[in-house]
Each structure stands twice: as C-alpha cells, then as structure tokens.
C-alpha cells in the first residue's frame, strides 16, 4: 500500500531548537525533548538532546515499548547495557533494544553532548520509562512528550 505524499503548510512548525526546549533533570543530566507529539505532532517516536557534565549520569532504566538510538556529538561517555560497559566517543552511536536496562555516565573531563531518538511511542507517556535506580530528582516531572513516551 502506498501513501500519498503529504504537503507542509508551515515548515517552520516542524522545527525546534534545543535552546527553546525545557531542560529535564529528573533522571540526571540535562535532557531536552525537541521533536515529539507535543512539539511537532509526530506519531512514531520522539527525540532530542542530552548534555552531561563531567561525572554526571542518567539513572539506570529501560523502555518497555521503545528502541533508543543515541549518537555522541561531544565528550566521552560510558553506557552500561545489561551490566556490560561500552565506551562512547564523539561520532559513536549506540542502539538500545526494547527492554534493555541502561545507564549513561560522562566518563570524561568535559561536557558531553548526545542526540537521541526513541520509537515507537509507548501507549501512554507514563509507560515509557521503567526506572531501576533511584532518580536524581524524584519529585521532578517527566519530559513533556505527549502521545506516547
């Protein structure tokens, strides 16, 4: 089945800047969702950027419905995938399958910068993450993804 091409009425409405996104620190670091059902009306996933200072981390968790793709732009990181540590440097990418427990740490001496994308969306946003470690900010809100997580 072929889908007819869609036309864009306002291309600017499909673009978002990380500097305009709300920083989220609930799980550690500075996570900024730029593209999501809330921001651009997409329906297949969401993505954004992550900044981690030296020694900062994103707490251990997994996604029961989504695969995650992470690309390192700057900095040196270590990601633990089901207990196995993988070192990431600028230009590295890692695929995190559905259900794989993972934790990300800035193992370097400078700020790390990553780009991430998760898909498909969870049925509801609150089902998108299962935390397996105490959160950095337990009272903090989840990122406003909408649609699914």
How many other β-carbons are positioned within 10 Å of the β-carbon of residue 106?
Answer: 24
Whole-model pTM: value is 0.91
Asked if residue 38 has pLDDT above 80, the reply is: yes
Asked if 146 and 62 touch (Cβ cutoff 8 Å), the reply is: no
Asked if residue 137 has pLDDT above 70, the reply is: yes
Taking only the tens place, the pLDDT of each residue in 78-118 is 999 999 999 999 999 999 999 999 999 999 999 999 999 99
Phi-psi region for residue 75, left (φ > 0), alpha (ψ -120 to 50) or beta? Answer: left
pLDDT of residue 148: 55
pLDDT confidence of 144, banded at 50, 70, 90? Answer: confident
């Amino acid at each position: 089945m072929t889908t007819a091409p869609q036309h864009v009425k306002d291309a600017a409405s499909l673009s978002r800047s990380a500097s305009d996104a709300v920083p989220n620190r609930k799980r550690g670091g500075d996570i900024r969702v730029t593209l999501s059902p809330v921001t651009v009306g997409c329906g297949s996933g969401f993505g954004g950027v992550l900044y981690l200072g030296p020694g900062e981390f994103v707490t251990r968790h997994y996604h029961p419905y989504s695969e995650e793709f992470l690309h390192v732009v700057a900095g040196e990181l270590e990601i633990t995938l089901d207990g196995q540590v993988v070192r990431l440097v600028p230009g590295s990418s890692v695929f995190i399958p559905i259900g794989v427990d993972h934790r990300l740490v800035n193992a370097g001496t400078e700020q790390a910068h990553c780009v991430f994308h998760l898909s498909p969306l969870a049925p509801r946003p609150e089902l998108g993450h299962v935390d397996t470690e105490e959160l950095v900010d337990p009272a903090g809100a989840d990122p406003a993804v909408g649609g699914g997580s």
